[in-house]
Structure 1
């Protein structure tokens, strides 16, 4: 079973690397031309989030035993889902190393390393697959995050679509990110006697890491997109001192956002 899971992981890695390469052959929208690599990278991440997030939600709906018994209660296709995600995170890590400096990518590389370590444990042991499937519900929030980032790269921060994406990101962050993280944390605390100590440490590290990133991300989006949202001033050449928006002739033309670099 472990060799089969590794085979699926390798195939997933090849597919996502191929998707990265294919997007290089396609034109980047003019509004995002200055950040063409970031545009391609987020598009690939969006494909992964749509695929695995919807797959995880449907899987848990059709096979709730995975949540009732996260250690052993899983069908074979659940292992395929986990392996597909491991392949993606490995491919995304390679893409970042090829296109960014280590100083630019180290935070996401640390995140990816923790996630790959946790998911790979399930593949190699054929256990805790249900727990990993629950964790992939977070990708439903990542769909909104990626759409929001693509709108930022396209300089659409003043649009209705961006406002909808921001509110959808906050809503799904609470429902599909914080709730599953809380459930997994509670399960780990209650069932730690069934889990080997090294896995408790690994899982706890992963939950704390992703949880901290999620809370920070939610606060930044809330502050930047909601609390600082004000009517556009009709003053020629006005520049907001907070560094979040700039206006020219009353029109929002750029928005610097620290959350742009954060991914799930």
Structure 2
């Protein structure tokens, strides 16, 4: 067991809970006023994604041994990075439970439970830290996802900023989410003899869950932000109507288009 990892996790939990509280003191943009808690929660998540995602990318660039030996090849600061993320996911889960019903938050809570279970192995044992740092590359895509949600909450869709963010989200989803997930799955399959069977099951289950959620999310964003936003040629005899469409995040987007029913 790594006492320093547990200490960093506790400090990270306290820091992100403090950030959740501190954001309440800041003004919320007018269009997002009816979703103040969601705005604050996503802002805190954006801070974590930028810190952990950038830290993982920089760390793997400076210390590629973490990918060559994901079990034991890591510098001390890598464990700190993983422990900070564990503290964040615990703090975010507590924030959701405090402000939402279980029915509203169950999907993200399941995601957080899987992530915390996997990352905690590195924090408690001091092993598989490199593997965990590779998994934090996913946060680079999460940063784009959080920014996209903030634009939706502030009613900035459609706009140039929203379009750029959508394309960046799809690009980083492929590069920093699907590629690392594929690499981790392949490594776990090839090196399963070096990993306890219980960890193979836990890690494999986590990769499948996050992988399915990532592909589903990518398809939703592609359909809503790209395919549904393409201009349509008016059909003679049909009158164009103004409608409000609900995107995959549940935020209304008003556009001039034909009435289409979209469900998930």
**TM (normalized to structure 2)?**
0.91
Instruction: Output aligned runs, 1:164-179, within 5 Å.
Output: 164-179=164-179
Do the aligned partners of 1:9 and 1:84 also contact (CA within 8 Å) in 2?
A: yes
Partner SS, residue 186 of structure 1 = helix
RMSD (Å), alpha carbons: 2.0
Which residue is equivalent to 1:69? 69
Which residue is equivalent to 1:152? 152
1:92 equivalenced with 2:109 (yes/no): no
Do the aligned partners of 2:155 and 2:253 also contact (CA within 8 Å) in 1?
A: no
Deviation at 1:101, TM superposition (A): 0.1
Deviation at 1:232, TM superposition (A): 8.3
1:138 equivalenced with 2:142 (yes/no): no
Do the aligned partners of 1:224 and 1:257 also contact (CA within 8 Å) in 2?
A: no
Structure 2 counterpart of 1:239, from 225, 240, 243: 243
Between the aligned partners of 1:44 and 1:233, the Cα distance in structure 2 is 41
Between the aligned partners of 2:254 and 2:54, the Cα distance in structure 1 is 38
Do the aligned partners of 2:148 and 2:165 also contact (CA within 8 Å) in 1?
A: yes
Between the aligned partners of 2:15 and 2:246, the Cα distance in structure 1 is 39
Which residue is equivalent to 1:262? none
Do the aligned partners of 1:70 and 1:131 also contact (CA within 8 Å) in 2?
A: yes
Deviations 1:127-152 (A, max 9, x none): 00000000000000011111100000
Which residue is equivalent to 1:122? 122
Do the aligned partners of 1:238 and 1:246 also contact (CA within 8 Å) in 2?
A: no
- Specify every segment of 5 or more residues in structure 1 that has no aligned partner in the other structure, as ranges: 259-264
Shift in alpha-carbon separation, 1:13–1:37, aligned structure 2, 3 A: same
Instruction: Output aligned runs, 1:191-202, within 5 Å.
Output: 191-202=191-202
Total equivalences in the alignment: 252
**TM (normalized to structure 1)?**
0.91
Which residue is equivalent to 1:228? 228
Deviations 1:200-252 (A, max 9, x none): 00100110111011000000000000111133899785226x7556647x59x
Between the aligned partners of 2:74 and 2:58, the Cα distance in structure 1 is 13
Which residue is equivalent to 1:210? 210
- Specify every segment of 5 or more residues in structure 2 that has no aligned partner in the other structure, as ranges: none
Structure 1 segments of 4 or more deviating over 6 A?
232-236
Partner SS, residue 239 of structure 1 = strand
Partner SS, residue 193 of structure 2 = coil
Shift in alpha-carbon separation, 1:92–1:233, aligned structure 2, 3 A: farther
